[in-house]
Amino acid sequence: MARSRLDYSGDMLVFGESEPPPAAKPPLHEVLSRLILPALFAVAAILGRAYHAVLFTFLGLALLGIYYEQLAAMVRHWRVWRHDRRVAKQGLKELRSFSRDLGEFFERSTSRTDMLPGIVNELRSRHPELTSALCVPSPDIFHSQWEFLNKRIQEEDFSPGQFHDAAKELWSVLAIYSSHCVYPVFRSFASEIREVLTANEKSQLNAFQQKFVHGLTGYIAYLKKLNDDFRSLPELPIGIAFPYPL
């Protein structure tokens, strides 16, 4: 909508409409295509078949010059896509290995005393006063999420975008598990737990903490490399609060 303007005419103040903005000029390649192509076809019609090969050669060169920017952009996009596809293909084997190894932390059984569910289950039975401090979500929640994701990672051949999403989803499961299960034990209620546990019980928890940090550190290094290698995909998240030993 045109805005009103003030126009001074002699001693009178006149309200009127502002001048409309100038029309946008068409891009250069549109102007050239409108002028050059009809001219070439007209010359071809005048000169006849004898010069058709020459004229069509010039026509091809003209089209190449007119649409060079668009063609160059398409080539650049294709090269980036091919590069990211190679990164995803080369990284899939390592992602499958990480998924198998990190899945150990989502063990739902409480019979393993080297994993957090089993350790917490034993400590709660020995120290009822730590029931609140050692109240962590059921491992079934995280195991189910990881199990479905791991099946896809192990069996499917991903496109670059699908590979990126799978690596990000594995990180999300790991980060949520850390926030709701590992962090409370080793950070939020660490002082309360430390006062009650024996040296052997602390050592048992610290062994898990070291193993968990080792797994986290390895996967973070892997994600950082992917962030450096990918050209067209957003950066994968790597921020997380590490658990401290007791």
What is the pLDDT, as a whole number, of residue 8?
A: 45
Tokens at 90, concatenated: 């080369």
Surface-to-core class of residue 174, CB atoms within 10 Å of its CB (0-12 exposed, 13-18 middle, 19+ buried): buried
- Of 177, 175, 100, 104, residue with least CA distance to 138: 177
How much is the CA Rg of the chain, to the nearest whole Å? Answer: 33
46 inside domain: no
192 inside domain: yes
- Give mean pLDDT, residues 222-245: 93
Identify the band that residue 26 occupies on the pLDDT scale cut at 50, 70 and 90. Answer: low
What is the pLDDT, as a whole number, of residue 135?
A: 87
- Is residue 55 within 8 Å of 43, Cβ to Cβ? yes
What is the pLDDT, as a whole number, of residue 59?
A: 63
Domain that holds residue 107: 91-229
Give the pTM: 0.72
140 inside domain: yes
209 inside domain: yes
| Rounded CA separation 159/173 (Å) | 21
Domains identified in the chain, total number: 1
Residue 170: CB atoms within 10 A of its CB come to 23
Tokens at 163, concatenated: 């590979």
What is the pLDDT, as a whole number, of residue 78?
A: 84
107 inside domain: yes
151 inside domain: yes
What is the pLDDT, as a whole number, of residue 13?
A: 46
Q: For residue 116, which amino acid is it?
A: L
